[in-house]
Amino acid sequence: MLKRFLFVTALAVLSPAIMVADEGMWLLPFLKQQNSESLKKLGLKLEVDDIYSPDEVSLKDAIVVFGKGCTGEVISDEGLILTNHHCGYSWIQQHSSVDHDYLTDGFWAYSKSEELPTPGLEVRFIDRIVDVTDSIKVAVEEAGDPMKAYDLMFLNKMSKRLAGEEFIKENPFVEVVIKPFYGGNKFFMFYQTVYKDVRMVGTPPSSIGKFGYDTDNWMWPRHTGDFSLFRVYTDKDGKAAEYSADNIPMKPKHHLPISLKGVEQGDYSMTIGFPGTTNRYDISEEIIHYRDIVNAARIEMRGVRLDVLEKLMQADDKVRIQYASKYASSSNYWKNAIGMNRGIKRLSVIDSKLKAEKEYRDWAYANNMPQYAEALDNMITALRNLYPIKYQRQMMTEGLSTAVEFSKVPSADALIKAIESKDKEAIDKEIKAFKEAYAKFNNKDYDPEVDRQVAKAMIKKFISMFSAEERPDVFAFIDKKYKGDTDKFIDDCFDKSVFADSAKFNKFMEKPSAKVLKNDLMLKYANSVRAKIRDLAFATKAYNKDLTLAKQVYIEGLLKMREGTPVYPDANFTIRLSAGQVQPYKPADAVSYNFFTTMEGIFEKEDSTNYEFEVPAKLKEIWLNKDYGRYAEEDGRMIVNIISSNDITGGNSGSPLINGNGELIGLAFDGNWEAMSGDIIFEPNMQRTISVDIRYVMLIIEKFAGAMNIIDEIDFVE
């Protein structure tokens, strides 16, 4: 049993002599115990209880999980949510069409009646955080299977048991989730209320919200107004509810006031949000996997897909709108993978890890704890056994499954079985389910002709990388029937499959046939790819178990090795705080970057022939007239983006950047190119969080959009 769960920095693992105050994705329940002094030294004016208190209202109550993988914050007493433009992007796209292209033109609701209901969008508030380590460890021991600690179904059952069936029944909009920390050495249970009536309030055009697009993505200097606005609605009693026209704007426990005072170098800054995944406890062999498998697959396969998509999107506005979110999501981590691999090499991360592993072994043997050194060796053995299987599976998943959309046509096994049984009730039931599954596949954001072109390119790429023996069995069918002509096979898929378009599907459903389904080319491809990925996953199962259990012991050893030193767990999309300061940096010899950019930089980058750097006429008018109102600096400059030394990663997008007084000064939206390996190692001299200065957000709302109704409900601190 671990006696202390404090806070280890990633650099402490790599180089024990170095400790960096700004590093760390801090667990809120430990702030008061571990971080009060360091936060005060950085410039925090609040008490730690003002940030997180289990019993009183605190800053935590203004922070939400936005959608599936972002952060947002409440900025008014009427439930107004601020998040990134790229976090709202798929929802903005959901409302967009060629006739109402909100991606291109932006959208603003000038009254609450104009706000757009957004089906499927949810936000989650964290109500309580409870340490349930002892309960989980007892239950795992009783189950007699240590892997239960990592079993989602087991943890879900435990969350219901610990919360109580009666509580679950009486609170249908409350989710109770248990997550492991420190490699399964610690467990916390999170109570979160889910709000399902969320409406779109405002978004700038992409020429502001995505200014710089892929060219500027992950880069500094930056000039992007990456924000969007939504509103949470409740029932008349103020409780979470499904959408209803009778619902009212939420009355939140807390909302963030907005500072118009600006920032100076060295000012305290903190983010509170939901960082997704970091791998700072990974050993050298795991970094090799990340570099040569995960990142390699993203770079190789997504690069091919993105090239095809970009050409098709530029040629057709309908396709551009349909695939905008898919392209942005894929491109984001394609570039991230390139940057991360660059950072791994530049920083000699693997050599540093090997050195740390030697120190760890030496410590384990010197302190008569050989089990920890053995755990490290067991991890290495498992990882080396996993490598070839994992490589093949990752490339196949990226290339043949994720990229080729028709690999997700609905499974027909149940329908075939029902048809062959001649049981009318079963047939009717499966037909209904089959139609619903097809409607989800062939949705408004799917274009068969785009999928046809992408599939042709992806299959050629995959064939060039893997031998016949390593491919799914559908490739043997293509070799035999089509003499290896994959383009002809794909064309036949789209010309003949019952899934190819709605007309073919509806005609087939008039008289469904088991024989037709068994011979359908799209289904043949999908079933083959699914089966191969499933087989590869099964082949990794034993090795993954060995790796997981060994890593739990390895991290336990790390914690003992650093006992008495603050230790933070890897990110796992739970609410965390990162503390830092507004700081410039020097990315290379003779190169220095300031900590802010101004509107002057937008027009230095402006290029009317390049959609990435187009500037709206209205924004240019504001700039020419210097019509910045109260949002400008005293010297007249209009700040656009700022950087700080906060420690964030994916999932933190949309996190508030908060000053020492608990006021909103910015909106985090990106990291910098030079520190793309930050998920593996924190780089104190390089790692920066890029945020939109909150005053630029307000400028766009007031001066560009003229949405004074929004401005009027915000609390400003001047």
Segment holding 273, helix H or strand E: strand 268-273
Q: Which two tokens stand for residue 692?
A: 């939109």
Handedness of CA 610, 615, 616, 620 (dihedral sign): negative
Does 275 score more than 90 pLDDT? Answer: yes
pLDDT in tens, 176-210: 999 999 999 999 999 999 999 999 999 999 999 99
What's residue 34's pLDDT? Answer: 81
pLDDT in tens, 456-478: 999 999 999 999 999 999 999 99
Side chain identity at residue 192, one-letter code: Q
Q: How far is CA 28 from the centre of its chain?
A: 20
CA separation for the pair 101, 81 (Å, rounded):
22
What's residue 35's pLDDT? Answer: 86
Does 6 score more than 60 pLDDT? Answer: no
What's residue 396's pLDDT? Answer: 98
Q: How confident is the model at residue 16 (pLDDT cuts 50, 70, 90)?
A: very low
Predicted TM-score (pTM) of this structure: 0.91
Does 694 score more than 70 pLDDT? Answer: yes
Looking at residue 111, what DSSP letter applies?
S
Q: How confident is the model at residue 683 (pLDDT cuts 50, 70, 90)?
A: confident
Residue 714: strand, helix, or coil: coil
Strands 664-671 and 689-693: what pairing? antiparallel
Q: Which two tokens stand for residue 120?
A: 């499927």
Contact 605, 223 (CB under 8 A): yes
Q: How confident is the model at residue 13 (pLDDT cuts 50, 70, 90)?
A: very low
Q: How confident is the model at residue 18 (pLDDT cuts 50, 70, 90)?
A: very low
Does 19 score more than 80 pLDDT? Answer: no
Contact 667, 697 (CB under 8 A): yes
Segment holding 382, helix H or strand E: helix 370-396
What's residue 550's pLDDT? Answer: 98
What's residue 377's pLDDT? Answer: 98
CA separation for the pair 106, 619 (Å, rounded):
13
Nearest Cα to 347, choosing from 9, 675, 688? 675
CA separation for the pair 489, 478 (Å, rounded):
7
Handedness of CA 167, 168, 173, 176 (dihedral sign): positive
Residue 23: strand, helix, or coil: coil
Domain boundaries defined on the chain: 284-549
187 DSSP β-pair partners: 180
Residue 718: strand, helix, or coil: coil
What Rg do the C-alpha atoms of the chain give, in angstroms? 26
Count of beta carbons in the 10 Å neighbourhood of residue 580 = 28
pLDDT in tens, 100-131: 999 999 999 999 999 999 999 999 999 999 99
Q: How confident is the model at residue 447 (pLDDT cuts 50, 70, 90)?
A: very high
Side chain identity at residue 704, one-letter code: F
What's residue 415's pLDDT? Answer: 96
Q: For residue 715, what are the contacts with CB-CB under 8 A and spacing of at least 6? A: 76, 77, 255, 257, 258
Q: How confident is the model at residue 334 (pLDDT cuts 50, 70, 90)?
A: very high
Q: How confident is the model at residue 29 (pLDDT cuts 50, 70, 90)?
A: very high
Tell me the backbone φ, ψ of residue 88, rounded to 5 degrees. -85, -5
Does 37 score more than 50 pLDDT? Answer: yes
Does 20 score more than 70 pLDDT? Answer: no
pLDDT in tens, 396-445: 999 999 999 999 999 999 999 999 999 999 999 999 999 999 999 999 99
Side chain identity at residue 698, one-letter code: M
Among 22, 226, 520, 570, which one carries the catalytic annotation? 226
Q: How confident is the model at residue 347 (pLDDT cuts 50, 70, 90)?
A: confident
Among 90, 401, 653, 677, which one carries the catalytic annotation? 653
Phi-psi region of 662 (alpha: psi -120 to 50; beta: other; left: phi over 0): left
Does 5 score more than 50 pLDDT? Answer: no
Handedness of CA 238, 244, 247, 252 (dihedral sign): positive
576 DSSP β-pair partners: 27, 273
Q: Which two tokens stand for residue 80?
A: 């107004």
Q: For residue 461, what are the contacts with CB-CB under 8 A and spacing of at least 6? A: 300, 301, 304, 399
Q: How far is CA 529 from the centre of its chain?
A: 26
Which residue reads 């089966």 in tokens?
Answer: 531
Among 22, 58, 76, 86, which one carries the catalytic annotation? 86
Contact 555, 281 (CB under 8 A): yes
The Cα-based distances of 74 to 82, 191, 255, 664 in angstroms read 6, 19, 5, 10
Residue 226 falls in the annotated catalytic set: yes
Q: Which two tokens stand for residue 707?
A: 């949405």
pLDDT in tens, 595-635: 999 999 999 999 999 999 999 999 999 999 999 999 999 99
Strands 268-273 and 656-658: what pairing? antiparallel
pLDDT in tens, 521-578: 999 999 999 999 999 999 999 999 999 999 999 999 999 998 888 889 999 999 999 9
CA separation for the pair 31, 10 (Å, rounded):
18
CA separation for the pair 674, 671 (Å, rounded):
9
What's residue 563's pLDDT? Answer: 87
DSSP string of 583-628, one letter each residue? --EEEETTEEE-SEEEHHHHHHH--TTSGGG---HHHHHHHHHT--
Mean pLDDT of 84-89: 97
For the chain, the distance separating the N- and C-terminal CA atoms, rounded to the nearest angstrom, is: 50
Contact 450, 319 (CB under 8 A): yes
Does 286 score more than 70 pLDDT? Answer: yes
Does 508 score more than 60 pLDDT? Answer: yes
Strands 716-717 and 591-593: what pairing? unpaired
Mean pLDDT of 385-405: 98
689 DSSP β-pair partners: 644, 671
Mean pLDDT of 266-283: 96
Lowest-confidence region among 239-248, 495-504, 536-545, 559-568 = 559-568
The mean pLDDT of the chain is 94
Question: Percentage of residues in the chain with pLDDT exceeding 70?
Answer: 97
CA separation for the pair 406, 444 (Å, rounded):
14
What's residue 21's pLDDT? Answer: 43
pLDDT in tens, 146-174: 999 999 999 999 999 999 999 999 999 99
CA separation for the pair 496, 522 (Å, rounded):
9
189 DSSP β-pair partners: 130, 178
